[in-house]
Amino acid sequence: MRAKRATVPARRKLSLKAQITYYLSEGQENRQANIAIAAARARELEARYFIIFTIMGDGAREAIRELEGTATQIVAVTCPADTTLYSRSEGSDELQTVKVGISAEVEVELRAGGISVARAALPFSEIALAPYTTDPKLAAIRATLDLFGGGTTLCVQAVLMACDHGAVPANEEVVVCAADTALVVKAAHEADVFTPWGLEIREIIAKPRRLTITKGVEQP
C-alpha cells in the first residue's frame, strides 16, 4: 500500500514591494507628477476609488486624464464654500486674503466627467469659541500628521470627508492624493478614525523628503 504524501500548507505571503517617490520639497510644483504616480498605483491595485484633495478643481481635472479608461471612481474633496486663505507677500507683514473653492462652473464640469464632489469642513479643524483659542487634542492630531508633511494631513482629512459624505464606503481600500503626497488608505468615518476598525495608512506612495512648507524653513 502506497504511503500517503503529507500535504504542505501553502506559505502565506509575508511582504510586498512597492516603490516610494520622495520629492525634494513640498508644494504645488509636484502636483502633476504626483497625480500620475498615484493614478498608476490605483491602476495596479485596481482601486475602486481615487480621492483627491483639490482647492480649485485643477487636480481633479488631471486625475480624469490619468484614470481615463478605468473603472476607478474619482472623488474630489474640497474645502467649505467661501473659505478664505491668508498669506503674506515676501518682504511684507501685510496679510493678503483670497477666497478659494471649486466654482459652480468647475463643479458642473467635474460632475459631468463622473467625479463626485465632497465639500465640508476639514476634520480636526478648530471651532472658534473665542479669538486665539486652540483645542490641544485637535492641535496634537494635526501636528502628529504634519510630521509626515502637510500633504499627509490633507490626505487623511480627505478620506474621512469622502467617507462621511457617502462618496466612499467605510473599510474600502482607496488611493488618495494631495499636491505632494499620495497614500493607500483604508477608509473610515471621522468618528471612528482611532477605533480598531478605523482608518489605516497602508502604503506611502509619495511624499516630500523635506518639509519646506510645513516647517516653514529650508531644510539642510
What residues contact 101, with CB distance under 8 A and at least 6 apart? 55, 56, 78, 79, 80, 81, 82, 83, 119
SS3 of 72-94: the string is CEEEEEECCCCEEEEEECCCCCC
pLDDT of residue 213: 92
Q: In angstroms, rounded to a whole number, what is the distance separating the alpha carbons of residues 73 and 51?
A: 8
Question: Is-contact 202 176, C-beta < 8 A?
Answer: no
Mean local confidence (pLDDT), 189-205? 97
**Interval 127-149 mean pLDDT:** 88
pLDDT tops 60 at residue 1: no
Q: Is the pLDDT of residue 148 over 90?
A: yes
Instruction: Check residue 99 and give its pLDDT.
Output: 72
pLDDT digits (tens, 9 = 90+) for 49-98: 999 999 989 999 999 999 999 999 999 999 887 777 666 555 666 667 77
Rounded CA gap, 120 and 157, in Å? 10
Percent of the chain residues topping a pLDDT of 70: 88
CA–CA separation, 95 and 5 (whole Å): 78
Stretch 132-137: mean pLDDT: 84
State the pTM of this model: 0.87
pLDDT band at residue 128 under the 50/70/90 scheme? confident
pLDDT surpasses 70 at 2: no
Say how far apart CA 47 and CA 45 lie, in whole Å: 5
pLDDT bin (cut points 50, 70, 90) of residue 104 is confident
Residues found in the chain: 220
Is the domain covering 21-208 a CATH 3.40.190.10 domain? no
